[in-house]
Chains A and B, each alone.
Chain A
Amino acid sequence: TAVGLKVNDGIVLASERRLSYGGYVLSKQAKKVYKINKFLMAGAGIYGDLQTLTRIMNVEIKYYEVSTGKPISVHAAAKLLSVILYQYKVMPFISEILFGGVDEKGPQLYVLDPIGSLIEDNYAAVGSGARIAIGVLESEYDPNMSLDVATQLITKAIKASIERDITSGDGIDLAIIDKKGNYENKFIPY
């Protein structure tokens, strides 16, 4: 389960750490929130697919920046990810992805499906516990809430999914970018 939230003051992405293969917990240390360049990416799905996508994105963003001589915008990076996903339409990366960042246009959050649909949103949840987490976000979300309150809300959402979704658990990873572009990450045992 991964959750993302955009407020006026920045963005927060979070995920729990459980990696399960059916009823078996393969790992309790699976980090599903990544910092790529100055962006955040979080996802749910096949873990190898997620890791591969983050590697591709790291390289592609670097390539964009060295070849154009300018930093890539959040939208351009998200669109790039969408194009990559669509290119693998016949053998897709099994993944639902949240992608966010802050640039001169302010905080932005995007949701992508396995074949690259690209939707900008204020908040979103993906993965096995999404239907539990989204309810928490839905009832309390306010774009004017502070980044601290947003962090608390997103933690609450992940906790709710950990409580009621068997394939979620083993602690919470949080990544935050404020409107000035400062990055921060946290781990909350749960």
Chain B
Amino acid sequence: MAFGPAAMGYDRAITIFSPDGSLYQVDYAFEAVKKGWTAIGIKSKSSVVIASEKRKAQSLLDVDSIEKVFLIDDHVGCSFAGLASDGRVLIDYARNIALQHRLIYDEPVSIDYLTKSVADVKQMYTQHGGVRPFGVALVIAGIDKSVPKLFMTEPSGQYMPYQAVAIGQGYYTATEFLEKNYKEDLNVEETILLALKALSATLKPNEKLTPNTVEIGYASTQTGLFLKMTNEDKNMYLQKL
């Protein structure tokens, strides 16, 4: 250790701070998120939308069967960027929280509370010994008593509400696009289109979104339900781009 680079010694156990105040393993978990497939969340007055990209990472991969947008409860959905296995576990946890809330209180869980519960688990994995942090960021979107809500949770356990947010490979380009083009006063269709445009902005010039390479989940204040879009509907929206 004494002969290693300056950082050595501070990234072996995650519970150890480096002298400048960072937890290296948590920082590395953020790097895993940056390598993930892009996911975008947008909240407007009418609705909240999640759009997520799927890439054919290997030629024999059955992209159609991969899920990137997940239903947590009737009124909440979620997507993630980073280690898929970590994401899956957290989504199972979130579904459990949502169901338990219905069981005990007979009402849908609030998006705030759900997000905080998931973020609390992530936080625990930055402080306890013998574990590693979750290498995922989650975008959680839903409707709370007719009000659209959008959150993003980070590997550190931090979570914040957003009007629009992007995570994964294309986060920088998509965020730049959204900062320029975001409007609050959009209807459901416009919100979905904005999400797709932001996702398209992250693609290489020769690439194009197809119904097979994008997943869309949306919830409108009108229905209060989080729904996943069918391929036919995706096609319709993609043609409008």
Give A contacts to B, CB under 8 Å. Answer: 64, 67-70, 72-73, 75-76, 79-80, 83
Q: Is chain B's interface secondary structure helix, strand, loop, or mixed overall?
A: helix
CB <8 Å contact, B105 and A80: yes
21 A-B pairs within 8 Å (CB atoms) are namely A64-B105, A68-B110, A68-B112, A68-B113, A69-B110, A69-B112, A70-B110, A72-B105, A73-B107, A75-B106, A75-B107, A76-B105, A76-B106, A76-B107, A79-B104, A79-B105, A79-B106, A80-B104, A80-B105, A83-B103, A83-B104
As a 0/1 sequence over residues 111 to 122 of chain B, the CB contacts with chain A under 8 angstroms (1 = contact) are 011000000000
User: Chain A: which residue is nearest B144 at the CB level?
Assistant: A70
- Chain B residue contacts of A83, Cβ below 8 A: 103-104
Q: In whole Å, how far is B154's beta carbon from the nearest beta carbon of chain A?
A: 20
Q: In whole Å, how far is B41's beta carbon from the nearest beta carbon of chain A?
A: 21
Q: In whole Å, how far is A19's beta carbon from the nearest beta carbon of chain B?
A: 32
Bound-state Cα–Cα, A121 to B15, Å: 55
Give B contacts to A, CB under 8 Å. Answer: 103-107, 110, 112-113
Bound-state Cα–Cα, A151 to B113, Å: 39
User: Chain A: which residue is nearest B113 at the CB level?
Assistant: A68
Q: In whole Å, how far is A116's beta carbon from the nearest beta carbon of chain B?
A: 12
- Chain B residue contacts of A67, Cβ below 8 A: 113
Q: In whole Å, how far is A21's beta carbon from the nearest beta carbon of chain B?
A: 35
Bound-state Cα–Cα, A28 to B66, Å: 69
- Chain A residue contacts of B113, Cβ below 8 A: 67-69
Which 6 A/B pairs are nearest by Cβ-Cβ distance? A76-B105, A79-B106, A68-B113, A76-B107, A83-B104, A68-B110
Bound-state Cα–Cα, A70 to B112, Å: 10
Q: In whole Å, how far is A89's beta carbon from the nearest beta carbon of chain B?
A: 15
- Chain A residue contacts of B106, Cβ below 8 A: 75-76, 79
Q: Could you say which of B103, B104, B107, B112 has the most chain A C-beta atoms within 10 Å of its C-beta?
A: B104
- Chain B residue contacts of A68, Cβ below 8 A: 110, 112-113
Bound-state Cα–Cα, A22 to B1, Å: 79
Bound-state Cα–Cα, A160 to B110, Å: 46
Q: In whole Å, how far is B94's beta carbon from the nearest beta carbon of chain A?
A: 15
Q: In whole Å, how far is B143's beta carbon from the nearest beta carbon of chain A?
A: 15
Q: In whole Å, how far is A117's beta carbon from the nearest beta carbon of chain B?
A: 14
Q: In whole Å, how far is B46's beta carbon from the nearest beta carbon of chain A?
A: 22
- Chain B residue contacts of A79, Cβ below 8 A: 104-107
User: Chain B: which residue is nearest A84 at the CB level?
Assistant: B104
Q: In whole Å, how far is B80's beta carbon from the nearest beta carbon of chain A?
A: 24
User: Chain A: which residue is nearest B116 at the CB level?
Assistant: A67
- Chain A residue contacts of B104, Cβ below 8 A: 79-80, 83
Q: In whole Å, how far is A75's beta carbon from the nearest beta carbon of chain B?
A: 6
- Chain A residue contacts of B107, Cβ below 8 A: 73, 75-76, 79
Bound-state Cα–Cα, A146 to B103, Å: 36
Q: Could you say which of A68, A72, A73 has the most chain B C-beta atoms within 10 Å of its C-beta?
A: A68
Bound-state Cα–Cα, A177 to B107, Å: 23
Q: Could you say which of B106, B110, B112, B113 has the most chain A C-beta atoms within 10 Å of its C-beta?
A: B106
Bound-state Cα–Cα, A73 to B104, Å: 13
- Chain A residue contacts of B105, Cβ below 8 A: 64, 72, 76, 79-80
